[in-house]
Chain A
Amino acid sequence: MALPKPHEADLVVIGAGPAGAAAALAASRAGLSVVLLDEAASPGGQVYRAPPAGLSVSPGKRGPDDDAGDALRAGIAASSVVWRGSARVWSVSGAFRVDAVTPSGNESFFAPRLVAATGAHERLVPFPGWTKPGVIGLAAATILLKSQGMIPGRRSVVAGCGPLLAAVAAKIVVAGGAVAAVVDLSGPGDWLRALPGLARRPDLLRQGLGWALKLGAARVPVLFRHGVVAVEGAEACERVVAAPVDTEGRPRGGSLRGFEADALAIGHGLVPGAEITKLLRARHHFDPAAGGWTPVRDAFGRCSVAGLYAVGDGAAVAGAEPARLSGQLAGLAAAHDAGRIPLEAFEREAASVRAGLARMSAFAGAVGRLMRPRPAMVEAIAPETVICRCEDVTRSEIETAIAEGARDINQLKHFTRCGMGPCQGRMCGETAAGLLALQVGSREEVGYWTGRPPLRPVPLADLLGRFDYGDIPVPTPAPL
């Protein structure tokens, strides 16, 4: 069987969350032919994730995100955007070719322009016991709750930083689960300082206060300026131990608090999932406020590689609504760059979107500060703690490799196998780079994992399909 025929379009958008969907719609409205790809079965991304086929959110439990998600899906369905769900993009090459494993095998898509809207992944600073069953990411918990109405455990601790803490804890309570405690790295003072910024989005602030009230009504203890220092249990999470921390998240001594719990949902912020821009070797810079390494972009999301645009939390973590607006800008820019929107109209349309984006910046900045990377937490990790769970690499093994001469993150990977497992470094990368930066001086010196395909691990059987030996295009033999 030969490879299927390629699909061509004016624009391919990878990722159908708020950013990618908005980019696809804006470009499509301006007359570009657009293919929108996502690994999920329906558009929406993580924040507006649709329930699986055949299920729906019961009317009493619907929130604003459910309505926004339905509106997004209706918008895509009513447009001329070619929607391709259940498409796992594993390779992006050239200018541009996108290869995805779909239910019908490997398919190739070609377009002169590409929008990467791939969202963020979680930052989790390791502590003893973090790899035990029952410990899940804070954002992962929102996916469980949103897509399936599942609670992480019978009795959960919710820990980390940022607005997701209250959201997850409140949703667990609403769904009928127990929350043993909320453990927040931030103190009341940090939240007070964030308030003016948060107040720029009254709708979200109201939503957040609603969550807080639910937690109060359920008498959920909230430990401000505390961090999780251990998860204990024979086989799985049985007990979560928290301790007071300083402003940078570093344990500062003081009495430990233990909570019986069979689940811990924990997250220390979000990291841009900028794998595609790295794969295409666009320029990147390290921006802690945006979550880490982020592609260098102009105001419209244009990267240093011609025809490549990066938007949403996959480029710089800022939240759903800024993501949508950044996607819309990139969609307009792609159409303008393709000659479909004259300069004047482009500037007029873009100006109002940019004004909206500017109004969001105070809110995004406030949330960003609450969820900022905290290098001191990495510094405080105990030597025997596992950093890379795929390959079982501890902090002390990383320190040994550094002593043996490892100076950049890819060299460290060679020395230790840290990051070579199926998570492809998404879980351990931030911590390993943080540890290395403590020795060599900066995250810039340390660099980032070289971008390589596949963008996600892909089963060979799905990728290779059925084939006959005679059809394999074996090149000319090497010289004897």
Chain B
Amino acid sequence: MSGAHDLAVVGGGVHGATVALFCARAGMNTVLFERGSLCREASGVNAGTLTMQMTRVALIPYALKAHAMWASARDWLGHDVGVVVCDGLSLAFTEREAELLTFRAGKRREAGAPIDLVSPARAQEVEPGLGPGVLLAGHCKVDGYANAYLTGQAYRAALIEAGVSLRERTPVSGVAREEAGFAVQTAAGPVRARRLVLAGGVWLEEMAAWLGIDLPIKVLVNQLAVTERVEPVMRTVVGIASGLLSLKQYPHGTVVIGGGWQGKGDRERGGAEIVPESLIGNMRLACHAIPALKNARLARAWAGLEAETRDALPAVGPLPGIPEAYICGSVHSGYTSGPYLARLLAQRMLGTEPADPLFPIDRLLAPAAPPTPVPSAAGRAADEQPHHV
């Protein structure tokens, strides 16, 4: 297969771009396909929160290492994505939320996240912008945020410096297996590579189907809102026990409000529509936590797609039965943990033992079998706490 690349990556979000980056730096001749521009879907429109207090327990060890990667992005990525490391608070306003917070913070602490439960007075010291009514707070020193919309610009420069052949605005219509690898189908004809990584976020389901693999991927439509620039109203990342609020003020003064409230959309249309009640509920929650926010004006709201597997744990590992084909994505809080998970996959592809276990998708493929526990993971079934607050 002369002229073939060592590696073809399909999908130019944080996952695909990170795998491509580390493989190219290790000497692989790498081509990356992105149907639009780099990191303009989930990787560019998410809230940029780098928190442990909204991260799934099974992912805490990964998120901690990924947090350190984001904080030192200038060193390994070589470019700035506006990362700010600061304290984080998860608030409880009701007895039920306090119960939920106590349970969840405990589980996350067991997994390694340095979360302390603190009094309202202590929470107020950490975040003077807090409003009244806090009963209990989870306090974590490992928190912060990135400026997600800068992700594409940073990765683009890094990939080009690493010698990756970058094919933006190049949709891939399919992948065919060949004797010595894969033929990636584009409008300009097939591009051949010995190895393949599928990193298509919510579009992983149709990508896996190219190779005959049935991997159901659920689509979440997460809404976000941003205010215009305002004077400082807060200095930490603020959430609530249920995980349905993420709130922080960027150095330039805008406040980004999120938490996974659902809008409308799908794979075909993207995050097509904001649901007004959902947006209003989310913003009321934000203003309840930080009352001074009420003086701001809403500048923009949008919705982005997040991928979720059946057990809401990542799909990162080899594609079963297809040598040299891999999948990387569908990570809850994928922006936070993405760089570390993708680097692990690159380690595996480069022939070294990954520093932490991957999340192979075999568990998701047998339709009749119950979800198999993944390494050190507490699956959805392990969450015995109430689902309503």
Residues on A close to B: CB < 8 A? Answer: 3, 90-91, 93-94, 97, 99, 106, 108, 281, 401, 404-405, 407-408, 410-411, 413-415, 417, 420-422, 424, 450, 452-454, 457-461, 463-464, 467, 469, 472-480
Contact = CB atoms under 8 A, between A and B. Distances in A.
A90 B274 CA distance: 11
Given A461-B294, A467-B284, A472-B284, A477 B152 contact: no
Contacts of B243: 477-478
Given A405-B156, A411-B40, A474-B389, A464 B283 contact: yes
B146 interface: no
A243 to B, nearest CB: 35
Interface string B286-307: 0110000111111111100000
Interface in B25-84: 37, 40, 44, 54, 56-57
A477 B100 contact: yes
B102 interface: no
26 contacts: A93-B264, A93-B274, A108-B276, A281-B272, A405-B156, A405-B168, A414-B152, A415-B152, A417-B252, A420-B254, A421-B229, A450-B302, A453-B276, A458-B297, A459-B298, A463-B298, A464-B284, A464-B287, A469-B93, A473-B277, A474-B242, A477-B241, A478-B54, A479-B332, A480-B57, A480-B385
Q: How many interface residues does chain B have, given as a range?
A: 35 or more
A464 B280 contact: yes
Interface of B: 37, 40, 44, 54, 56-57, 93-94, 100, 104, 107, 133, 149-150, 152-153, 156-157, 168-169, 226-229, 240-244, 252, 254, 260-262, 264, 269, 272-277, 279-281, 283-285, 287-288, 293-302, 312, 332, 378, 380, 382-383, 385, 387-389
Given A421-B228, A424-B299, A457-B298, A475 B262 contact: yes
A244 B228 CA distance: 39
A371 to B, nearest CB: 29
Given A414-B40, A467-B284, A477-B387, A422 B297 contact: yes
Contacts of B40: 410-411, 414
B283 A463 contact: yes
Closest 5 CB pairs of A and B: A477-B242, A414-B149, A480-B383, A457-B297, A478-B243
Contacts of B229: 421
A467 B133 CA distance: 14
Given A460-B296, A463-B280, A479 B380 contact: yes
Contacts of B152: 411, 414-415
Given A414-B152, A424-B299, A475 B383 contact: no
Given A474-B281, A477-B100, A407 B37 contact: yes
A94 B37 CA distance: 28
A401 B157 CA distance: 11
B299 A480 contact: no
A480 B382 contact: yes
Q: Which secondary structure dominates where chain A touches chain B?
A: loop
Contacts of B272: 281
Contacts of B153: 401, 404-405, 414-415
A460 B383 contact: no
B359 to A, nearest CB: 15
A381 to B, nearest CB: 23
Nearest to A470: B94
Contacts of B298: 90, 454, 457-460, 463
Given A93-B274, A457-B299, A460-B293, A3 B244 contact: no
B37 A476 contact: no
A460 B247 CA distance: 15
A480 B281 contact: no
Contacts of B280: 3, 106, 463-464
Contacts of B332: 478-479
Contacts of A457: 228, 297-299
A470 to B, nearest CB: 8
B299 A404 contact: no
Given A424-B300, A457-B297, A464-B287, 11 more contacts: A93-B273, A407-B37, A410-B40, A414-B149, A417-B252, A452-B301, A460-B293, A472-B285, A474-B285, A478-B54, A478-B260
A460 B300 CA distance: 12
Nearest to B299: A457
B163 to A, nearest CB: 16
Contacts of B93: 469
A94 B263 CA distance: 11
Contacts of A93: 264, 273-276
A404 B157 contact: yes
A472 B288 contact: yes
A469 B133 contact: yes
A94 B385 CA distance: 35
